[in-house]
Amino acid sequence: MKQTTHNSELVNYAINGLSNVNPGVYGCDLHDELFNTDYFIIGYAAAEKWLIDNPGIFAAIDEIKEYEEFNFGQVTTDLSSSEKVVNMYAYIKGEEILADCPTLQQKWDERLEQEDIDQIIEELNELL
């Protein structure tokens, strides 16, 4: 497994989300299930505080702009909303976090069984 430094709050968010994932989800859909069906942070003040305390507001905006321009050809996130920025940032970082899970990469085109989900949780715990 790669030794990458990830934000522990985002890794824990993924771990907690996996505890609610039902077996049968496709590996390729796991990122969407964990980081696009619920909010990482709700509330503008909480979102702004998290951004300031973690990557920095402008670092997060730069990362979002780069990601969206590369993947979509344009920026679509409302960068004036701390809530939208923090949740898109979490989405992007969630992709990177899950890329460090060998079990998920091996099961990308398959439905995940409970043992696969448990193994992914174990791999995420190793990132902490």
How many domains would you assign to the chain? 1
**Over its length of 128 residues, how does the chain's per-residue pLDDT go in tens digits?**
444 589 999 999 999 999 999 999 999 999 999 999 999 999 999 999 999 999 999 999 999 999 999 999 999 999 999 999 999 999 999 999 999 999 999 999 999 999 999 999 999 999 99
Is residue 3, in this structure, part of any structural domain at all? no
The pTM is what?
0.94
The domain containing residue 113 runs over which residues? 8-127
Is residue 103, in this structure, part of any structural domain at all? yes
Buried-state track 58-92, b at ≥16 Cβ within 10 A, e below 16: eebbebbeebbeeeeeeeebebeebbbbbbbbbbb
Is residue 70, in this structure, part of any structural domain at all? yes
Is residue 22, in this structure, part of any structural domain at all? yes
Beta bridge partners, 111, equal 26
